[in-house]
Structure formats: C-alpha cells, structure tokens
C-alpha cells in the first residue's frame, strides 16, 4: 500500500453515504478495490496501490454525487458505482434525468443503460425494455409513467400483463376484475406504492387515473392520453402483441417490458415480444433498450445467477 493516502474533500451528506450504515459501504469499496477507506471528517481518505485508489476514487465520487443530489444511496447503488468505476464509465447517466415522484426521494438511473432507457421513454412514443430480472426496466417505466400522470402530461396510467403464470383462467378466480388481476400485477403495484405511497395510489385508482387491465381486456379500446405499461410481455402471443401495440391513441405513450429468456408460454416461438422488436426496431418513434447482467441492481447474487445462465445459453449455442 502507498504510504501517502489520497484525501477527497466531500460534504457531510456524501461522507455519510460513502460510509453507509455500520460502515457497510466502506466494506464494499475496500473489498472491491483492495484499498483502505477512512472517513476522518470533511472527506474520505484512500490508501492503496495506484490503480485501486484511482478506481475507488471514481466510485466514491459517484456515490457522493448521488448523495449531494439528495438521493438515497443503497447497497445496490454502491455496487453499481463500483461496477462503473471498474468499467471506466464513471457516474455517467446518474445526473440530469431525475424523476420527481419518489416517496423516498427522487428516482434516478443507476447505470448507463438505465439512463438510456429513461432517455428513450422521454423521446419515443413506444419503448421496448428487454433484459433480466432486477435491472429496473419495470420500475423505471412505472416511475416515468407516474411522473407523467402527476405532471398532467397524461390523464391515465394503464398497466397490463399477460395472465399466464398461474396456469388458471381469470374467470375461475374469485372477486371482481381488480381482485382477479391484482395477483398477477403485484410487482407493478409494489413499484407504484414505493413511488406514490399507498394512500395516493388508492385515491388515484378510485378516480380511474390508474387502471389495471389484462391484455385480453384491451381489445377494441383506443387508449388516448394515457401512459401504458405492458409488463412481462414475453408471455404475450404474437396476436396479443399486435393488438396491444395498435391500441395507442392520441397523446399516449407505451412501454413494453420483458425478459425473452423467461417465456412461460407452452411454445416459446409463439412469444410476440422478440417478434415485435425484430419487426419494429429502427422504426421512427420506437426505442429499444437492452439490459445486461451488469445492470442488475438487486442482490448481487442475482447478477451472478444471470451471468451463469447466459454462459450456459452461450455454450448450448442459443442466443436470447
């Protein structure tokens, strides 16, 4: 280790974010770069070899920038900063695209691909978000749509999902439409609760500003002045995908999210997601963002699981 530590002057909020609760964030940085991180007051001190200090400094600066914007810094944010510092991408994509809707503060992209995704949602009328679980493709679409609703850019937020996972027809489940559909929409409702809070979500649902509808119930409708999210779209058939994509009406936007490697249909070739992307990528007004394992912002084990499955698919000569 170098005998001369490098000192980075930071705000008090940034120092607390870099340290983390019970020095959890410091431990992650030290393990990642083989450095010693100390917080003597007024900043952060880094000791280690030149490469380790350089990469750790980039991670620290990315964490500090997020904290200084008033954003929450979680373990996942620290892991993303570490990954970006290793890859030489710095904190690119973390600033300038804040969504002022978070119940726990502003929502912001944590990886370059998330930043590209939000940019596409801002620019394009139809956006496909493809990639593994934990990459934020659904959460960010929900956050963007909720932001548009709160700003008055759209009148309604509509979420739709193929109801195929449980292997049951909706008509055989008890309750009204919402009670039938809600079990399939749990991830979307969790995201909306995080963003809006339970009480505001309840009020907006009662007013009809937030609506759930299985894909089959969208047939024959024209969705005007709405932000539409089609989640788990890999489980929509080709016919369903064409139907839902042609529901876009005046003043509407749509985000279609899914993981092409997680198809639950009896015949994977029937999935309409990859088919639609193949037909529509490059068409004016349509954006496509592909997330990778390094975009996973859940438990670090999820990224390792995704990489293992990707490697297995590559060995078997399959592309997804």
Token code pair at residue 239: 């016919």
222: confidence class by pLDDT, cuts 50, 70, 90: confident
Work out the number of other CB atoms within 10 angstroms of the CB of residue 193.
15
pLDDT(300) > 70:
no
* pLDDT recorded at residue 95: 41
Distance of CA 301 to the CA centre of its chain: 17
Work out the number of other CB atoms within 10 angstroms of the CB of residue 168.
12
Q: Where are the domains of the chain?
A: 6-87, 112-315
* pLDDT recorded at residue 171: 53
d(C-alpha 38, C-alpha 8), whole Å = 11
pLDDT(280) > 90:
yes
pLDDT digits (tens, 9 = 90+) for 178-202: 666 666 677 788 888 888 888 888 9
Out of 175-179, 198-202, 203-207, least confident range: 175-179
20: confidence class by pLDDT, cuts 50, 70, 90: very high
Q: What does the mean pLDDT of the chain come to?
A: 83
For range 218-230, the mean pLDDT: 90
Which one has a higher pLDDT value, 172 or 155?
Answer: 155
* pLDDT recorded at residue 93: 41
255 forms beta bridges with 127, 229
What pTM was computed for the model? 0.69
175: confidence class by pLDDT, cuts 50, 70, 90: low
Out of 93-102, 109-118, 250-259, 293-302, least confident range: 93-102
pLDDT(108) > 90:
no
- Inter-residue contact 46 to 57 (CB < 8 Å): yes
For range 122-144, the mean pLDDT: 92
Residue-wise burial string across 238-272, b where 16 or more C-beta atoms lie within 10 A, e elsewhere: bebbebbbebbeeebbbbbbbbbbebeeeeeeebb
pLDDT(91) > 50:
no
pLDDT(210) > 90:
yes
For range 33-37, the mean pLDDT: 93
The fold for domain 6-87 equals Ribosomal Protein S8; Chain: A, domain 1 (3.30.1370)
99: confidence class by pLDDT, cuts 50, 70, 90: low
pLDDT(104) > 70:
no
Out of 23-37, 97-111, 209-223, least confident range: 97-111
* pLDDT recorded at residue 209: 94
Alpha helices in the chain (DSSP H): 12-19, 24-33, 50-68, 75-87, 112-123, 137-151, 177-181, 186-196, 198-206, 238-245, 272-280, 300-315
| Class of the CATH-defined domain 112-315 | alpha beta
Which one has a higher pLDDT value, 60 or 301?
Answer: 60
167: confidence class by pLDDT, cuts 50, 70, 90: very low
Where is mean pLDDT largest: 127-131, 135-139, 178-182?
127-131
């Amino acid at each position: 280790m170098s005998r001369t530590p490098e000192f980075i002057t930071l705000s008090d909020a940034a120092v607390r974010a870099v340290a983390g609760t019970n020095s959890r964030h410091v431990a992650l940085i030290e393990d990642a770069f083989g450095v010693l991180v100390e917080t003597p007051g007024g900043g952060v001190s880094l000791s280690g070899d030149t490469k380790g200090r350089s990469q750790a400094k980039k991670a620290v600066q990315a964490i500090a920038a997020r904290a200084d914007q008033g954003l929450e810094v979680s373990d996942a944010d620290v892991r993303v900063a570490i990954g970006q510092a290793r890859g030489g991408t710095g904190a690119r994509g973390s600033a300038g695209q804040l969504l002022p809707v978070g119940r726990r503060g502003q929502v912001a992209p944590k990886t370059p691909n998330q930043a590209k995704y939000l940019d596409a949602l801002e620019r394009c009328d139809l956006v496909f978000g493809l990639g593994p679980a934990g990459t934020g493709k659904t959460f960010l679409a929900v956050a963007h749509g909720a932001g548009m609703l709160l700003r008055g850019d759209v009148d309604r937020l509509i979420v739709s999902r193929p109801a195929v996972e449980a292997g049951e027809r909706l008509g055989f489940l008890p309750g009204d439409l919402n009670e039938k559909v809600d079990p399939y929409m749990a991830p979307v409702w969790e995201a909306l609760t995080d963003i809006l809070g339970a009480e505001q979500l309840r009020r907006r649902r009662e007013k009809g500003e937030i609506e759930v509808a299985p894909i089959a119930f969208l047939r024959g409708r024209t969705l005007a002045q709405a932000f539409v999210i089609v989640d788990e779209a890999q489980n929509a058939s080709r016919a369903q995908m064409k139907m839902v994509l042609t529901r876009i009406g005046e003043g509407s936007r749509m985000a279609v999210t899914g993981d092409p490697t997680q198809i639950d249909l009896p015949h994977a070739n029937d999935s309409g997601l990859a088919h639609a992307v193949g037909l529509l990528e490059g068409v004016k007004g349509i954006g496509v963002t592909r997330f990778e394992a390094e975009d996973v912002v859940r438990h670090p084990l999820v990224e390792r699981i995704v990489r293992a499955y990707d490697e297995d698919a590559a060995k078997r000569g399959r592309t997804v």
